[in-house]
Amino acid sequence: MAEAEKIIVPTMAEMASKGESPEVLFWVGCSGSFDDRAKKITVAIVRILHHAGIKFAVLGTEESCTGDPAKRAGNEFLFQMQAINNINLLNGYGVKKIVTGCPHCFNTIKNEYPSLGGTYEVMHHTQFINGLIKEGRIKIEGGSFKGKKITFHDPCYLGRGNGVYEAPREVIVSIDAMLHEMPRHKQKGFCCGAGGAQMFKEAEKGNKEVNIERTEEAMRTGAEVIATGCPFCMTMMTDGVKHFNKEESIKVRDIAEIIADAASK
């Protein structure tokens, strides 16, 4: 996929002003909007959507937090305020289908919003990408990850929270990579250490950080690449690799980044 291609990303407001509606709304999320590393994941997803010919749009400055961190930290009042504002916005635009690169956004919009009046078809980007590959809307060449030993870390809200295990693995296999599983994977997966709002607070007492424990498991597989499907997992696993000074030999990449690299020109 050409690196230099300029992609125009329309907003829902711009589309609505023309009387148009997108095939999907790409929900970027707070990390994908503001975190420098996660922005690269956002760009990869956009490139894939564009490459596959998907008519999509984002909310742009109208998008705000889903309320997930507030809810997990115990502030139900703040969560409902944030959620209802988002739901009113989404319903106002007549949004039907949402794709997001964040399992936390995915879980919250999919499972928490319906009871507040927001019911949509919500897909994680690994599910959507897997569907595009199976439909032939993306052709895979393998890219620089072809033949690499890759292990996949299951994000909690994607895997155990919503039972999505096969889509990211099928995507990895599609590039002819060698998938090496960690002992704790799928239903027995292990948290990266960021969940439950832990990302935003000081570590609790213990003899080892959770992300260090998980990174050790990933390293023991002999994988050259640790694949993730969550911006929070990306941060925690990257920090773990840095802890062991393995940045040169072990890369941490989102599934979208791997496919953006492998998609045929």
* Mean pLDDT on 101-108: 97
**Residue 73 pLDDT grade (very low, low, confident, very high; cuts 50, 70, 90):** confident
Who has greater pLDDT, 194 or 108?
Answer: 108
Tell me the average pLDDT across 166-193: 94
**CB count in 10 Å sphere of residue 36:** 6
Instruction: Judge whether residue 2 has pLDDT over 60.
Output: no
Q: With 70 as the cut, is the pLDDT of residue 57 above it? A: yes
Buried b (16+ CB within 10 A) or exposed e, 178-215: ebbebeebeeebbbbbbbeebbeeeeeeeeebbbebbb
Torsion 172-176-182-188 (CA) sign = positive
CATH architecture of 12-129: 3-Layer(aba) Sandwich (3.40)
β-pairing verdict for 149-152 and 121-124: unpaired
Which of the four CATH numbers 2.60.40, 1.10.10, 3.40.50, 1.10.3210 does domain 140-262 have? 3.40.50
Range list for CATH 3.40.50.1860 in the chain: 12-129
Mean pLDDT of the chain: 93
For 130-175, how does the pLDDT look when each residue is reduced to its tens digit (9 = 90+)? 999 999 999 887 678 888 999 999 999 999 999 999 999 999 999 9
